[in-house]
Amino acid sequence: MKTAFCPSGATPDRITASCPSGEITIMQGGEYDVKLVRTGTSNLMPAVESLFLTFYDVDGDDTYEVEDEATGQVIEGTFYNLYEINAVVGAIEIRLDETSTLEKGQFLPSEAEYVIASNSQNIDTYLEQDVTLISGNALAAIGAFRLAHTSQFRVMVGGRSSVPYTADRGYCFTMLEPALSVICPPPSPPSSPPAVPAQLLGSDSNRP
């Protein structure tokens, strides 16, 4: 992950990795075009009615530091933070667990939606196991994107980083629908019945 930068040339804050004074922050990442093709060919499959791209271990990190080139010792007060971000262009829905530490956002001008770590804490996720068994705190770092009626899409992985050098990060996703605990909004209360127009009520003088 490369360092974020500010259009004005200012340096992003070391802790938030954001530009000062509300200036827009330019994050960096990589884009990948994904196509679903028939086995053994490059022929595009018919559009799939519904599919998921689920990202795991979407979190931050606050352990990056800078060493003195002469002594090899860590320079005091030089810890830097980063926040991972993922997006799927064309997704019609994003699902997060009720314990999620991720935030949703939208790129402009494309209006593609993304999820980004809301804090720089690393969330332990053991990806050696069956991902369908991931549970506990690791659910907070899952972001699932749902697409519909397509067999090709674009994926973006990257982040907002104040680390003054390229930070090595790993990204993991599957095409499985995750088992998340999603809080549904409460049902809306029934609307009040419409008021009866006064002319239909009549006046006292017209009543028998």
DSSP assignments along 176-192, one per residue: S------PPPPPPPPPP
pLDDT one digit per residue (tens) for the chain, 208 residues: 999 999 999 999 989 999 998 899 999 999 999 999 999 999 999 999 999 999 999 999 987 877 766 777 666 666 889 999 999 999 999 999 999 999 999 887 888 899 999 998 888 887 777 877 788 888 999 999 999 999 999 999 999 999 988 888 889 999 988 888 765 555 555 544 444 444 434 444 444 4
Percentage helix, strand, coil, to 5, in the chain?
10, 35, 55
CA distance 68 to 13: 21
CA distance 140 to 98: 8
